[in-house]
């Protein structure tokens, strides 16, 4: 099945589940144990279809990238038109990228002088610019948060100025003295926390020309970086890693605290309208799949389900009209824990310090006939305006 067929199938399953829920509820508004099990089975099918839709969307994106031709056919005379193309230098040059691949395939025995143009201060060689860009593409693909946040490339400690108090207008009688208010400002500092990922490959794979080493490294390193970053951007404490939006200190503002762990429609509506109107224009939800499963049963005052599945490929599901983003790293609905974030996540700033770099770890795995590679990056992330993200938190008792 293609994506649209799965979307149609999910929509039909959702309508069937809603009808079943309405027709099998008792006068007290609850399901029997047998009917509850049947509904849970329907809901599980909807969840599985949603995951498959997301999986196919990611697969389509990857295939589109991979299907780009390596060599383009000649449409004119060889060499024609090249005189007007700007020549690339340093890490952006084709020679640098080719030298990096040659060095890696030879176990860094064949190191060209050109690689000396991109050496990391802590050892190793900086990633060619095209590789670095494609790593960022992979991070965006795997990491939902990078597509929502604001990314800044920094070369050092980056200070962001925040307006604290703003001047207010005041009425005065004619001839009276003017009153002056003080405008105050604060600063948020983006630092750099080190993140690394290491892999081992066999010498046979490394030396095999049929093995696409470049794509393998980009894919594996990109996924690992993306997963670690998303976890930190959501849950990080700010110590040794970025500060997450669910962090008790430095995260969003707790707007709703449940009496237990049971959600009601009014709780979602309170969360939405706790966010100031200007932020609601670009707002969305971030929550765990298990929390979304509980929300699917909720209705508004017109008896319409507040969760609406997407009926079109590429469109996100919606909750009370706002897009829903699910993450495996968002906290589950548990006693005393933050569970749902709603806001404009562009006010979360990600600071990428410099560029990523590769290092070879040959001696460490020499006895096993393997070669290790480690990729490093330095990144920080902070919510610069806490009021831009509102948090729903479960109560202390279940």
Residue 70 has pLDDT above 60, yes or no: no
Place of tokens 């105050």: 184
Asked if residue 81 is part of any domain, the answer here is: no
- Top-confidence residue, 365 or 75: 365
Q: What pairing do the DSSP bridges indicate for beta strands 307-308 and 193-202?
A: unpaired
SS3 content of the chain, % helix, strand, coil (to 5): 40, 25, 40
pLDDT at 148 over 60: yes
Reply yes or no on whether the pLDDT at 345 is more than 70: yes
| Rounded Cα distance, 293 and 317, in Å | 13
How confident is the model over 224-234, as a mean pLDDT? 91
- Per the domain annotation, does 5 fall within a domain? no
- Per-residue pLDDT for 204 more than 80? no
383 pairs with which residues across the strands? Answer: 348
Instruction: Please report, in angstroms and rounded to a whole number, the separation of the first and last CA atoms in the chain.
Output: 41
Residue 277 has pLDDT above 80, yes or no: yes
pLDDT at 287 exceeding the cut of 80: yes
Q: Which helix (H) or strand (E) holds 73?
A: none
Segment (H or E) for 370? strand 370-383
Using CA of residue 212, residue 215, residue 221, residue 227, what is the dihedral sign?
A: negative
Are 288 and 328 in contact, with CB atoms under 8 Å apart? yes
Report residue 221 as tokens: 């390193």
The pLDDT, as a whole number, for residue 34 is 87
Structure confidence at residue 186 (pLDDT) = 65
125 forms beta bridges with 119, 358
Q: Which of 26-40, 266-280, 319-333 has the lowest mean pLDDT?
A: 26-40
Q: What per-residue confidence (pLDDT) applies to 67?
A: 59
Which tokens is 344 given?
């404009």
In 3-state terms, what secondary structure has residue 280?
helix
In a domain, 376, yes or no: yes
DSSP H/E element including 162: strand 158-163
Average pLDDT score over the chain: 80
Q: How far is CA 271 from CA 90, 342, 393, in A?
A: 50, 7, 10
Q: Is residue 199 part of a domain?
A: yes
Q: Residue 200: what pLDDT?
A: 80
Q: With beta carbons less than 8 A apart as the criterion, state whether 325 and 358 touch.
A: no
Buried b (16+ CB within 10 A) or exposed e, 370-386: bbbbbbbbbbbbbbbbb
Number of domains within the chain: 1
- Residue-level pLDDT at 184: 60
| The pLDDT of residue 76 is above 90 | no
The Cα 46–Cα 321 span in angstroms is 19
> What are the pLDDT digits (tens) for 159-202?
666 665 656 676 777 778 776 666 565 666 777 888 888 888 77
In a domain, 51, yes or no: no
Assigned domain for 105 exists: no
pLDDT at 32 over 50: yes
Distance from C-alpha of 88 to C-alpha of 249, rounded to nearest angstrom: 45
Is residue 187 in a domain? yes
How many secondary structure helices (H) and strands (E) does the chain include? 9, 14
Report the pLDDT value the prediction gives residue 390, as an integer from 0 to 100.
Answer: 96
- Residue 197's domain comprises 111-165+181-288+327-398
Q: In the prediction, which pLDDT does 84 show? A: 60
Residue 65 lies in a domain: no
**Between 320 and 119, whose confidence is greater?**
320
CA distance 194 to 376: 7
CA distance 239 to 142: 24
pLDDT, mean of residues 112-129: 68
The pLDDT of 140-144, averaged and rounded, is 75
Q: Which of 61-70, 365-374, 377-386 has the lowest mean pLDDT?
A: 61-70
Cβ count near 9 (within 10 Å): 16
Once rounded to an integer, what is the mean pLDDT over residues 227-235?
Answer: 93
Collect all residues with Cβ–Cβ distance below 8 Å to 398 and sequence separation of at least 6.
260, 261, 335
CA distance 389 to 345: 7
d(CA 275, CA 319): 15
Q: Mean pLDDT over residues 337-342, rounded?
A: 93
In this prediction, residue 285 carries a pLDDT of 96
> CB–CB of 126/353 below 8 Å?
no
Is the predicted pLDDT of residue 25 greater than 70, yes or no? yes
Confidence of residue 74 (pLDDT cuts 50, 70, 90): very low
Helices (H), 143-212: 203-207
pLDDT for 235 beyond 90: yes
What CATH number corresponds to the domain at position 212? 3.30.2400.10
pLDDT above 80 for 332: yes
In whole angstroms, give the CA distance from residue 18 to residue 190.
Answer: 47
Cα–Cα distance, 137 to 126 (Å, whole number): 18
C-alpha distances in Å from residue 379, one per residue of 120, 149, 327:
16, 13, 20
User: For residue 329, what pLDDT is reported?
Assistant: 92
């Amino acid at each position: 099945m293609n994506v649209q067929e799965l979307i149609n199938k999910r929509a039909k399953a959702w309508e069937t589940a809603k009808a079943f829920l309405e027709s099998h509820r008792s006068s007290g508004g609850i399901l029997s144990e047998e009917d509850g099990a049947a509904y849970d089975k329907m809901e599980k099918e909807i969840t599985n279809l949603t995951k498959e839709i997301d999986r196919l969307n990611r697969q389509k994106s990857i295939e589109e990238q991979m299907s780009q031709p390596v060599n383009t056919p000649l449409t004119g005379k060889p060499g024609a038109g090249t005189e007007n193309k700007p020549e690339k230098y340093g890490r952006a040059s084709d020679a640098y990228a080719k030298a990096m691949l040659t060095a890696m395939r030879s176990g860094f025995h064949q190191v060209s002088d050109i690689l000396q143009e991109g050496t990391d201060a802590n050892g190793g060689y900086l990633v060619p610019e095209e590789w670095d860009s494609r790593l960022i593409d992979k991070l965006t693909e795997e990491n939902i948060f990078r597509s929502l946040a604001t990314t800044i490339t920094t070369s050092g400690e980056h200070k962001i100025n925040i307006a604290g108090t703003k001047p207010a207008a005041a009425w005065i009688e004619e001839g009276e003295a003017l009153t002056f208010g003080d405008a105050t400002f604060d600063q948020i500092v983006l630092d750099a926390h080190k993140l690394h990922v290491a892999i081992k490959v066999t010498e046979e794979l490394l030396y095999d020309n049929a093995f696409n080493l470049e794509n393998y490294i980009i894919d594996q390193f990109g996924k690992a970086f993306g997963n670690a970053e998303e976890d930190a951007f959501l849950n990080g404490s700010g110590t040794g890693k970025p500060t997450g939006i669910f962090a008790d200190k430095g995260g969003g503002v707790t707007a709703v605290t449940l009496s237990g762990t049971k959600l009601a429609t009014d709780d979602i509506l309170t969360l939405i309208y706790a966010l100031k109107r200007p932020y609601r224009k670009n707002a969305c939800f971030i929550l765990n799949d298990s929390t979304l499963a509980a929300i699917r049963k909720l209705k508004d005052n017109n008896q319409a389900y507040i969760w609406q599945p997407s009926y079109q490929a590429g469109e996100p599901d919606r909750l009370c009209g706002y897009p829903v983003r699910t993450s495996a790293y968002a906290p589950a609905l548990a006693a005393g824990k933050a569970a749902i974030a709603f806001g404009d996540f562009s006010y979360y700033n990600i600071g990428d310090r410099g560029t990523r770099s590769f290092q070879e770890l040959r001696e460490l795995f020499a006895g096993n006939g393997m070669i290790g590679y480690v990729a490093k990056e330095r990144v920080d992330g902070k919510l610069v305006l806490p009021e831009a993200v509102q948090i729903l938190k479960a109560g202390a008792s279940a």
